[in-house]
Each structure stands twice: as structure tokens, then as C-alpha cells.
Amino acid sequence: MPLDIVVGTQWGDEGKGRVVDLLSAGVDFVARFNGGDNAGHTVTVGDKTFKLHLVPSGIIHPHTIGAIGNGVVVNPAILLQEMEMLRAAGVTVSPARLVISHAAHLITPGHIALDKALEGQRGQGKIGTTLRGIGPAYTEKVARSGLRAGGMLQPERFGQAMRQHIERVNHTLRHLYQAEPLDSERIAQEFTEYAHLLKGYIGDVSLLLTHAMNRGQRVLAEGAQGTLLDLDHGTYPFVTSSNPTTPGALLGLGLGVNWVERVIGVTKAFQTRVGEGPFPSELNGDEAARLRGTGDKPWDEFGVTTGRPRRVGWLDSVLLRYAARVNGLTELVVTKLDVLSGLAALKICVAYRADGQELRELPFGPAELGQFEPIYLELPGWSQDVMDVRRWEDLPEQARAYVLQVEDLCAVPVRMVSVGPERDQVIEIG
């Protein structure tokens, strides 16, 4: 079957960008299916590090075509900036290489202002959103009052619709949040210009990909965020407003289930989270600082989009098993194994304790994780640096045991392990 799907199994930031970059070598299309510029995918090629928020990371390969599906919310200003950044780095970005679904919804300054106002009002109960307007854009989509990319094909009418949208937002900003209104005229003009610049890129992603697969071409669906941030299956309400899980790929690209071959779940060798919400295996103090890194390397644990230090902890296999279930994973990729080198002992959360009971499965999904105390399995660490290792059999015995334990705990085969940020710092298994 010609469609493979890459999903995150944690709270995002699993290293999907580099996995997509690797797999892109063997596909014709790379298609983003959810989220917006809240995502940040880092790909390192030689001395260049690309930080992408919207454009599918596969586009860095000269032979692939990037698609942005209907499930994505697009901020045109950010998209245009990213296209320019890629061009400056020598990547060809043209309508022949990038297609945006006519049914993708747009993020406007109105949505961003509402995101800020809403988070401000939540106070202590804030979600810790990326403040990119994601929630309000999806809210308008569901309320059937959003602006879609296809509207940009008629720039003048689109400008008018934008003006009306900002005036509606201003009403809410003024009356509900006592916040400053936005300049609807200026924003409408700005978006009319974006429409002129982007209209050549608008297409029917579902039709394009289906025709391509009928011709025998391959498609890679690239998810943003991760399973535990899924609107339905994540740690609600501390989630994003889209579906980063496998069904979100089909819905967000307009594709049938019959095309799917592999569902590749990406997990870090440990656990991280940005923003608020429960995290049973979270670490603090020196242990946390050791896993997080200092922030001087692009792959240290600091948010690509917001720069916030990520919360870090031991790998949680209860949540990983849950992610395997709700995504139907066929295989796993474990990233950042190198970060664990040098730790004397490693832990994996294998169950929770609550009310004197031991739980191996989540009774009602991950929303109420706060009350659970992790039960750990302890494994010996290894001292050897593994960043130059390229063959499974050359990994230290304890590192292999750690990976096999992960595989065993979630009953999904691990097909690849990454040991550094470069394209070639991977070990393929079997």
C-alpha cells in the first residue's frame, strides 16, 4: 500500500521531523495533516538546521512534493516567511512543489488575539498554548464561520470576508475581554496581498494524493504534535485543538483507510512535555537538567516554536502502550537514545498506583493522570557514547536491553533508533 503515516506517541517533540526527513527519501509526496505553526520540526542536514513550522519537512528533499492538508490551520504570514527562508537556503519552493488544500482553514491576527485573551482569562488554569491562534481557528471551523484557503482564489471577496471576520473578533475582544480591537482595514489589505501571493499554491490535496497513489506513487503523512495532545484522546483539556493521531491523517488529507501500509509511531527514549497538564513520570532538579540539556544545541529540550524549556521525565510505557492502541501502530522509532548515555541507572514507568491499586492500563484515557503515582522498572545504564554507532549489534548491551524492553512493554517492534541529530545518526533494526 502506498501510504505511510508518521505520528507522535507522546506530547509532541518526539523527533518526527527527522524521521519524516529520512523516510522522505523513498516517497513522492509528504503531506502535513493537522495542527498549524504551533508545531516545530527540526531537521539537520550537514551544517544546516531547518526549523519548520508549517511546510512539510520532506520538502528539503529535491524530489518530493509537499502538501498541506485540510486538517491543517494555516497562518499565511508564517507560511510565506517559511517559504522565503527555504528559498534562501537553496530549496525550490514553487506551486509544482507545494500544494495547500483549498479546505484548510486560515489563522488570522484575530485568532491570535483571541488565543492570548483566552489564556489570560484562564489564569491559573491556563493550558499553556503556543499563542499561535490554533484553538480559536479550529473553534471557528467547527462553528462553521472560518475562512478557508480556497477563499484566497478570489482575493477581493476574500478581503471583504476578512474585514467582517476581524470586526466579529473585535466585538468579542471588546465586550468579553475588554481587550484592544484590531485594525480590520489594515488586516484585510494584508491578507489580500497574501491571497495574491498564495493563490497559485491552492489545490485539492485529496484528489492530488489519490491520483498519485493510483499511479503507483508513495505518500508519507506527517503528523504534528502527539497522541497525548489529541483533542479526543489526549490529556484533555491540556491538549491541542486537532487530531494528531492516525485517523486525523485520513480525515486531514481526505484519504481512505484502504491506502495505509505502515503507521510509524515516534517516541523519545524518555518523556517530555511543553505547557501545562499532568505528567506522572516528570523529573525535577539535576536529573531533569541532565535530560533537558543546556539549550546551546538546537536539539536540546527547548520548544522550537516558543523557546520554553520542556518538562522532562522517564519514559512512560503505560502511555506508550495507549498510543500504540489508539493509533494502530505497526512499528516504533525511538529517538534520542544517545541522551541516556552516561546515566548509571534508567527507569521506565510500567504501571501506576492509585488508591492502593496497581493499574497497567488507563481506566478512562489519560485525562486524569494527575492522581497516579508511577511504578518504575529500573534498568542498568551504559557509559559509552553511542552517537557514532550505526549498527544494532554495536550498541552497548544495556542500550539494546533498554530498547528491547520498550518494545516488549508496548508490543510494537522498534524498527529504528536515533543516536544524534544528523541524517545518518540512525540505527535500522531488522
Closer to ligand IMP at the Cβ: 63 or 308? Answer: 308
Catalytic residue list contains 41: yes
Assess 225 for contact with ligand IMP (CB under 6 A). Answer: yes
- Say how many CA atoms lie within 13 Å of 240 toward its Cβ: 33
Which CB, 278 or 381, lies closer to ligand IMP?
278
- 274 near ligand IMP, judged by CB under 6 A: yes
Task: Please tell me whether residue 149 binds ligand IMP under the rule CB under 6 A.
Answer: no
Positive or negative: CA dihedral 298, 303, 308, 314: negative
* Three-state DSSP class for residue 405: helix
| Residue 127 CB, nearest approach to ligand IMP (Å) | 5
Does residue 13 carry a catalytic annotation? yes
- Indicate the residue among 40 and 280 with the shorter CB distance to ligand IMP: 40
CB of 279 to ligand IMP, least distance (A): 11
How buried is 161 (Cβ within 10 angstroms: 0-12 exposed, 13-18 middle, 19+ buried)? middle
d(CA 39, CA 53): 5
| Interface map 20-49 toward ligand IMP (x if CB under 6 A) | ------------------xxx---------
| Other residues' Cβ atoms within 10 Å of the Cβ of residue 46 | 7
C-alpha torsion 311→276→318→263, nearest 10: -90
Nearer to ligand IMP, 128 or 381 (CB): 128
CA distances from 252 to 27, 57, 416, 429 (A): 19, 17, 26, 31
Question: Comparing C-alpha atoms, which of 42, 52, 13, 9 is closest to residue 234?
Answer: 9
The site for ligand IMP, by CB under 6 A, has a size of 21
Query: In this chain, which of 2, 76, 159, 275 binds ligand IMP, going by CB under 6 A?
Result: 275
Nine-digit cell string for 237: 483539556
CB 132 within 8 A of CB 107: yes
Q: Can you tell me which of 6, 7, 12, 389 binds ligand IMP, judged by CB under 6 A?
A: 12
- Is residue 418 within 8 A of residue 15, CB to CB? The reply is yes
Give the active site residue among 13, 21, 316, 338.
Answer: 13
Q: Which of 41, 111, 165, 233 is catalytic?
A: 41
Q: Which residues pair with 333 in a beta bridge?
A: 266, 416
Q: Which is nearer to ligand IMP, 221 or 274 (CB)?
A: 274
Cα 105 to Cα 133, 202, 252, distances in angstroms = 12, 12, 11
Query: Please, are residues 71 and 252 in contact by the beta-carbon 8 Å criterion?
Result: yes
Phi-psi region of 124 (alpha: psi -120 to 50; beta: other; left: phi over 0): alpha
Residue 240 is a binding residue for ligand IMP (CB under 6 A): yes
Among candidate residues 42, 51, 54, the one with its CA nearest the CA of residue 14: 42
Stretch that binds ligand IMP, among 25-33, 238-246, 314-322, 385-393 (CB under 6 A): 238-246
Binding ligand IMP (rule: CB under 6 A), the pick from 79, 224, 255, 334 is 224
Nearest distance, CB of residue 118 and ligand IMP, angstroms: 10
Residue span binding ligand IMP (CB under 6 A) among the ranges 9-17, 251-259, 393-401, 408-416: 9-17
Tell me whether residue 53 or residue 321 sits nearer to ligand IMP (CB atom).
53
Which string of x and - marks every residue 50-89 that binds ligand IMP (by CB under 6 A)?
Answer: ----------------------------------------
Q: Which is nearer to ligand IMP, 32 or 132 (CB)?
A: 132
Contact set for ligand IMP, span 112-141 (CB under 6 A): 127-130, 132, 134-135
C-beta nearest to ligand IMP: residue: 275
With b for 16 or more beta-carbon neighbours within 10 A and e for fewer, the 199-216 pattern comes to bebbbbbbebbbebbeee
By CB under 6 A, is residue 13 in contact with ligand IMP?
yes
Q: Which residues are catalytic?
A: 13, 41
Residues that bind ligand IMP (CB under 6 A): 11-13, 38-40, 127-130, 132, 134-135, 224-225, 229, 238, 240-241, 274-275
